[in-house]
Structure 1
Amino acid sequence: MTTPPGNVASPASSGSVAEIQQIRLFRIYNHYRVVVSLMLVGLLFIEPFTADTRFRWLEYYQGGVFSYLAINAFTALVMVAGFCPRERHVIVSVLLDILVLHGLLLTSSGITNGIANLVIVSVAAGNILTPTRMGTFYAALAAICSLGISAWAVLAINETADDIVRAGTLGILYFATAFVLQSISRRMIRSEALARSRARSIAELEQINRQIIQRMRTGILVLDASGSIRLANAAAEELLFGAASRNDSAHPGDRILPAPLKQGLLAWRKHPGKRIEPFQATATSPLLQANFTQLDQDQGDQTLVFIEDMSKVTQQAQQMKLASLGRLTAGIAHEIRNPLGAISHAAQLMEESPQLDEGDHQMLDIIRRHSKRVNGIIENVLDLSRRRPAEAEAVDLPHWLEQFCIDFEQTRGDGEPLAIELSPDPATPQARFDRSQIEQVLVNLCDNGLRYSKQQIGENRIQLEAGATADGERAYVDVRDFGPGIPAEHRHSVFEPFFTTDKGGTGLGLYLARELCEANQAHLSLVEDDQPGCRFRITFAHPGRMI
């Protein structure tokens, strides 16, 4: 329905709870007016008035009663049709009631008529609907009209002076009603304002708490007695299910607890004081630790679960270890490199001697390789200790991988042909990361993959794949080689510092790669499948949920 401008104000556009409350009260008051006018009209038909001396002007009284009913009925119909009165409409209605009722008093038997009591109700309603100075004006107008009718009756038709006394008493009642109701109304308004303010503060606090819980890196679950999920924040969904809900209002009960966590919940319920063992929700998820607590001690039907990423704790311990090692390395790097450089230089000079036999050359090769390895260890540890913070930016992953492959082939420079099979999915979502740091990770993974592929199949061949996770919101990159693979007993150790199966390696490459991924809120994992070689996956964080 179209609202005529200037006549109707919808509650939603009025912008004030007080105005909406005023409209509701006015509707109730108008129902009262309709009932009163119907009763007045009904009395005309129930008891016929022909030559009743109680009425001064019967025809005018009857016309006034019918007019009053018509006005009130019209107002009720307009409000049913959707009209929302403003304050000025309320004021006009109350003033009209006071004047019409006094007109009925004048045309009937005067101030002694029971209709005078209805004026008190109108004054009271006016002070409730508009608890301002206008309420005092209603009382003053009603008192003046009452006194005016009584004075006219005494002077014009020789009524007794008792009417003036009664009019004065009614005037006192009008003002008393106005003052009392204004005081009560102001107190109620202050109470409502305080209640609204507190409700708004509670709502804002609840919203802040919800945002804090959703953005926490610790997973939080609320489970009912049957183990169904009642609440889960984004971190819990990513840690347990590898995907967060697209819609924050989605019902978390659709999720099913991973089997290891469900077993841990049952074990905890049997032995509440026992700490469950760390577990993996999926093959590619990090190692997780769950802690349980009873949420409601009275009912005892809900359980609060905290999900911690154990890799964070392990990484913190390793970072402390490497930080100490980095400080030590930084302090003695100069002392190590000087003799190391002298050893390397001496080995190079000895290689130029024509008097060396094959055994001497083998010994010099050992010196050169191990000197290079020691220097690589020092460089890697120094890189860990002085790594700069990530500067994340939104990246179109397929396009960025194409450019990476071109740059990688140009800078490798060993003269051997490379076979990099790139298969990006056009529907891959954007990712946020530091280009230089993730490029360093990919260079490390690609170098390893090419080296192991060369050892196994005799050619430098790797595969790069980009796509979206199961929820379609996060991007990932896979690097697959065609090497001999990693034995099952070593799969959980490949990301530990100084662990290596290559005699010439430092054991810091994959650890450094995972550290750089974690700095960009990405996760580097070893994917187990039935394909030859190794498959490493970088899973990026949701670009809109990065902290």
Structure 2
Amino acid sequence: MTDTPTYAETRASNEQQIKLFRIYNHYRLVVSLMLVGLLLIEPVTFDTRFRWHDYYQAGVVSYLALNAFIGLVLVAGFRPGQRHITLSILLDILIMHGLLLSSTGITNGLANLVIISVAAGNILTPSRMGTFYAALAAICSLGIAGWAILALNENADNIVRAGSLGILYFATAFLLQNISRRMIRSEALASSRARSIAELERINQQIIQRMRTGILVLDRFGQIRLVNAAAEELLFGSGTETTASPLHHPRTLPPALRQGLDAWLKDPRRRVSPFQPNPASPLLQANFTQLDRERGDQILVFIEDMSKVTQQAQQMKLASLGRLTAGIAHEIRNPLGAISHAAQLLEESPSLAAGDRRMLDIIRRHSKRVNGIIENVLDLSRRRAADPELVDISQWLPEFRRDFLQADATHSPPAFIELDIDPNTPPARFDKSQIEQVLVNLCDNGLRYSEQQTGTRRVRLRAGPMANRERAFVEVRDFGPGIAPEHRGAVFEPFFTTDKSGTGLGLYLARELCEANQAHLALVEDDQPGCCFRMTFAHPGRLI
């Protein structure tokens, strides 16, 4: 990072210079008014003591008019440049010495006002021009004193006074230039550090914003002061790509998180239990810590998605099971194939009793189920990584419906898939083949349970935007008997099933595929008939 002043810093410096010039012009206006006032108070004594009273009077009035004109121009909005400021200081020095010349000479108190003009010039123009102001003032003072000695036979002590004033002019110039240079260097260093701090703050905000861990800053009353996109998404389902900032529209904490905060405030050593902000959200874990331990005004909250931990544990379990299954699949399939083949041959016998045929049907069905379990576990262990792409859900979902119905055309009764797509549904980024596999599984289950309940194979697909209008969801609703409340928490567990012919891996595999595509699959709890499974996709622009 360089120390070159930015456009904003240069503009700020110019604004400060203009402001100082306005203040200096106010000072000159006050001085000129006082000089005119003195003329009106004692006009007789001035005539006796001043060299050229008429010239002095004209000079004072002209000085007042000049300052008044400059003041009006500044009030009208004129922005003086550097050359205007320089010309104004030079005129000030020359006019003051003209007034000294026409009055009582270098012994007049107006000489002290020249010091202020030189000082103002070095403040407004902290460069070599400031030294020129001092030199001009010193030459003018010495010239007036020398002329008075030669032409008017005045006391030679005026030369000493003029020299002293010249030394004072240069001392003022050098002192203020040194102070100004130090201030400029300090200001440049402060600006450079401010830019560095601002850049670091922006980087920190971007890092915090893109973290997958949700971050909240609360006060002791549970009011949200700061929130990042991950926390917005996990708690409220409305994460955005903006920088982490205070909320313009205050939100209240979910009741479960509020209860955890109250419990932590009572006992900071206590670990808060995992919670769900709503039934369709993943399981979350909150960790609290105080930002200011002395005052305890603000509380930092880390929100972590526990489904990742659960997923890792289940992956380890499935990986071990997959290795075991892969090792014994050959040994199981050979006798299983022999059992199935023997059952088929035995079924062809014409002398079988009805009871024996029922036994053969049980053997055939359970052999098929064991083979399906082995195939599903092997598929889990061989699952490829997701290859996401940006998908327009409004176009993709009707294509999926058409392909699914074509593949299902041989079934009886026929399947009916209703579509309800919000035209404002945003795009999503996922692997189409994997998410289509999830939809096929959910639609197959929904059609089967709908037929059991109503005699009709019917499901409804609905797509739309989440509350923030930036993330999409897809729902699959059936019209079956639904899931008992005591089983709702276990529907995504591996090998859990309420269907005697199922393997219990379909919904688990569906959630695994969704997690691989940064989506979340949940069972929606509502008062409508049947079951509703919702896939909530991540923001398409988020880089994770």
TM-score range, shorter chain: 0.7 to 0.9
Does residue 316 of the first structure (1) align with residue 312 of the second (2)? yes
Partner deviation per Cα, 1:445-469 (whole Å, 9 max, x = no partner): 1222223333433333211011233
**CA distance in structure 2 between the aligned counterparts of 1:17 and 1:354, rounded to whole angstroms:** 95
Residues 386 and 430 in structure 2, CA contact (< 8 A), matched pair in contact too: no
Normalising by structure 1, report the TM-score.
0.87
**Residue aligned with 2:126, SS:** coil
Does residue 306 of the first structure (1) align with residue 299 of the second (2)? no
**CA distance in structure 1 between the aligned counterparts of 2:8 and 2:366, rounded to whole angstroms:** 84
The residue aligned with 2:172 is: 177
Which residue of 278, 289, 296 corresponds with 2:274? Answer: 278
**Residue aligned with 1:461, SS:** strand
**CA distance in structure 2 between the aligned counterparts of 1:102 and 1:65, rounded to whole angstroms:** 12
Which residue of 226, 236, 240 corresponds with 2:235? Answer: 240
Residues 325 and 381 in structure 1, CA contact (< 8 A), matched pair in contact too: no
The residue aligned with 1:115 is: 110
The alpha-carbon deviation at position 28 of structure 1 amounts to: 1.4
Partner deviation per Cα, 1:320-374 (whole Å, 9 max, x = no partner): 33344455566x3xx7358737964895698479964555864773475146314
Partner deviation per Cα, 1:422-479 (whole Å, 9 max, x = no partner): 1112232333333333222222212222233334333332110112333444321110
Residues 321 and 377 in structure 2, CA contact (< 8 A), matched pair in contact too: no
Letter in 1 for 2:132: F
- Structure 1 segment 380-529 matched on structure 2, within 5 A: 380-384=379-383, 387-393=384-390, 395-412=391-408, 414-416=410-412, 417-529=414-526
Letter in 2 for 1:524: L
The alpha-carbon deviation at position 19 of structure 1 amounts to: 1.6
Which residue of 230, 247, 265 corresponds with 2:225? Answer: 230
**CA distance in structure 1 between the aligned counterparts of 2:111 and 2:159, rounded to whole angstroms:** 13
The residue aligned with 2:4 is: none
Does residue 212 of the first structure (1) align with residue 207 of the second (2)? yes
The alpha-carbon deviation at position 389 of structure 1 amounts to: 3.9
Gapped regions of structure 2 (runs ≥ 5): 1-6
The residue aligned with 1:102 is: 97
Over 3 Å counting, the alpha-carbon distance change for 1:154 and 1:329 in structure 2 is: farther
Gapped regions of structure 1 (runs ≥ 5): 1-11
**CA distance in structure 2 between the aligned counterparts of 1:183 and 1:527, rounded to whole angstroms:** 73
Residues 231 and 252 in structure 1, CA contact (< 8 A), matched pair in contact too: no
Moved more, 118-127 or 398-407: 398-407
Letter in 2 for 1:236: A
The alpha-carbon deviation at position 415 of structure 1 amounts to: 4.6
The alpha-carbon deviation at position 77 of structure 1 amounts to: 1.6
**Residue aligned with 1:221, SS:** strand
Over 3 Å counting, the alpha-carbon distance change for 1:205 and 1:169 in structure 2 is: same
The residue aligned with 2:329 is: 336
Over 3 Å counting, the alpha-carbon distance change for 1:219 and 1:447 in structure 2 is: same
Does residue 269 of the first structure (1) align with residue 246 of the second (2)? no
Residues 294 and 302 in structure 1, CA contact (< 8 A), matched pair in contact too: yes
Partner deviation per Cα, 1:369-413 (whole Å, 9 max, x = no partner): 1463144224422343xx2144242x3322221122112223445
Over 3 Å counting, the alpha-carbon distance change for 1:25 and 1:354 in structure 2 is: closer
The residue aligned with 1:164 is: 159
The residue aligned with 2:194 is: 199
Over 3 Å counting, the alpha-carbon distance change for 1:366 and 1:244 in structure 2 is: closer
The alpha-carbon deviation at position 488 of structure 1 amounts to: 2.0
**Residue aligned with 2:507, SS:** helix
Over 3 Å counting, the alpha-carbon distance change for 1:346 and 1:508 in structure 2 is: closer
Over 3 Å counting, the alpha-carbon distance change for 1:354 and 1:73 in structure 2 is: closer
**CA distance in structure 1 between the aligned counterparts of 2:179 and 2:406, rounded to whole angstroms:** 84
Letter in 2 for 1:311: S
The residue aligned with 1:145 is: 140
- Structure 1 segment 533-544 matched on structure 2, within 5 A: 533-544=530-541
Moved more, 371-380 or 161-170: 371-380
Partner deviation per Cα, 1:112-143 (whole Å, 9 max, x = no partner): 22211111111111111111111111112212
Letter in 1 for 2:96: L
- Structure 1 segment 77-88 matched on structure 2, within 5 A: 77-88=72-83
**CA distance in structure 2 between the aligned counterparts of 1:80 and 1:14, rounded to whole angstroms:** 24
Residues 369 and 502 in structure 2, CA contact (< 8 A), matched pair in contact too: no
Over 3 Å counting, the alpha-carbon distance change for 1:422 and 1:182 in structure 2 is: same
Partner deviation per Cα, 1:271-304 (whole Å, 9 max, x = no partner): 3322232222212222222223333322234333
**CA distance in structure 1 between the aligned counterparts of 2:75 and 2:522, rounded to whole angstroms:** 66
**Residue aligned with 1:257, SS:** coil
**CA distance in structure 2 between the aligned counterparts of 1:449 and 1:383, rounded to whole angstroms:** 27
**CA distance in structure 1 between the aligned counterparts of 2:469 and 2:271, rounded to whole angstroms:** 35
**CA distance in structure 2 between the aligned counterparts of 1:369 and 1:22, rounded to whole angstroms:** 89
Partner deviation per Cα, 1:24-76 (whole Å, 9 max, x = no partner): 21111111111111111111111105773532222222111111111111111
Normalising by structure 2, report the TM-score.
0.88
The residue aligned with 1:260 is: 256
Letter in 1 for 2:380: V
**Residue aligned with 1:483, SS:** coil
Moved more, 232-241 or 118-127: 232-241
Letter in 2 for 1:41: V
Letter in 2 for 1:123: V
Partner deviation per Cα, 1:242-267 (whole Å, 9 max, x = no partner): 33489876636732222222222223
Letter in 1 for 2:225: R
Over 3 Å counting, the alpha-carbon distance change for 1:312 and 1:297 in structure 2 is: same
**CA distance in structure 2 between the aligned counterparts of 1:14 and 1:308, rounded to whole angstroms:** 42
Residues 33 and 64 in structure 2, CA contact (< 8 A), matched pair in contact too: yes
Residues 400 and 436 in structure 2, CA contact (< 8 A), matched pair in contact too: yes
**Residue aligned with 2:476, SS:** strand
**Residue aligned with 2:489, SS:** coil
The alpha-carbon deviation at position 97 of structure 1 amounts to: 0.8
Residues 288 and 309 in structure 1, CA contact (< 8 A), matched pair in contact too: yes
The residue aligned with 2:3 is: none
Over 3 Å counting, the alpha-carbon distance change for 1:378 and 1:275 in structure 2 is: closer
**CA distance in structure 1 between the aligned counterparts of 2:376 and 2:67, rounded to whole angstroms:** 93
Residues 228 and 253 in structure 1, CA contact (< 8 A), matched pair in contact too: no
The residue aligned with 1:7 is: none
**Residue aligned with 1:52, SS:** helix
Residues 145 and 159 in structure 2, CA contact (< 8 A), matched pair in contact too: yes
For these two proteins, the number of residue pairs brought into alignment is: 530
**Greater relative contact order (Cα < 8 A, sep 6+):** 2
Letter in 2 for 1:61: Y
Moved more, 505-514 or 136-145: 505-514
**Residue aligned with 1:499, SS:** coil
**CA distance in structure 2 between the aligned counterparts of 1:242 and 1:475, rounded to whole angstroms:** 11
The alpha-carbon deviation at position 185 of structure 1 amounts to: 0.6
**CA distance in structure 1 between the aligned counterparts of 2:296 and 2:201, rounded to whole angstroms:** 24
